[in-house]
């Protein structure tokens, strides 16, 4: 009975502060869309493109820190397994505490990046990139999956 009491007391001490915080979440909001691409012509999507940049919304405990890590594809895959090379530059990702695409801190999506959640515990991550089709690129639809991992930091 004493052990049970300790357990309940520990639970009472531990859970309420955690449940009062916004949990860490990440949601894919918008695809990184290159639109119509001409063979042999690189197509660049800036991370500031409201229509075409990729977007993730993240939440976490206010004022806490978290590490962002992308899993980036090197190609998009299209018809009959054809591949379309993708490039990500050193400032192709951006983080906005205010969730405004016009107010970002740029970072390298190939490297982990530490963010600080705002007072309201929300933020947005934006991603641009470059599609580099070869002159003989097969026509059709190409896709790839981009994953963002968010790890809370102590």
Binding site for other proteins (CB under 8 A): 1-4, 7-8, 10-11, 14-15, 18, 21, 23-41, 43, 54-56, 58, 61, 73, 76, 78, 84, 86, 127, 129, 131, 133, 135-152
State which residue, 76 or 101, has the beta carbon closest to other proteins.
Answer: 76
**Least distance in angstroms from the C-beta of 55 to other proteins:** 7
29 is written with which tokens?
A: 């909001």
**Least distance in angstroms from the C-beta of 94 to other proteins:** 14
**Least distance in angstroms from the C-beta of 99 to other proteins:** 15
State which residue, 105 or 139, has the beta carbon closest to other proteins.
Answer: 139
Contact at 8 Å (CB) between 140 and 78? yes
Q: Per-residue b/e over 64-92, b at no fewer than 16 CB within 10 Å?
A: bebebebebbeebebeeebbbebebeeeb
**Least distance in angstroms from the C-beta of 36 to other proteins:** 5
State which residue, 61 or 106, has the beta carbon closest to other proteins.
Answer: 61
| Euclidean distance between CA atoms 116 and 130, whole angstroms | 28
Contact at 8 Å (CB) between 65 and 114? yes
Can you say whether residue 81 is alpha, beta or left, with left for phi > 0 and alpha for psi between -120 and 50 degrees?
left
């Amino acid at each position: 009975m004493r052990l049970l009491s300790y357990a309940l007391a520990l639970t009472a001490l531990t859970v309420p502060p955690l449940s009062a915080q916004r949990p860490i979440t990440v949601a894919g909001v918008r695809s990184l869309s290159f639109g119509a691409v001409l063979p042999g012509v690189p197509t660049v999507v800036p991370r500031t493109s409201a229509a075409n940049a990729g977007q993730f919304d993240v939440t976490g405990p206010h004022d806490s820190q978290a590490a962002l890590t992308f899993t980036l594809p090197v190609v998009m895959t299209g018809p009959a397994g054809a591949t379309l090379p993708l490039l990500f530059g050193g400032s192709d990702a951006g983080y906005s505490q205010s969730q405004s695409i016009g107010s970002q801190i740029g970072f390298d999506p190939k490297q982990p990046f530490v963010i600080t959640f705002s007072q309201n515990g929300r933020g947005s991550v934006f991603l641009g990139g470059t599609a580099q089709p070869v002159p003989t690129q097969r026509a059709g639809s190409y896709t790839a999956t981009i994953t963002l991992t968010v790890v809370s930091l102590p």
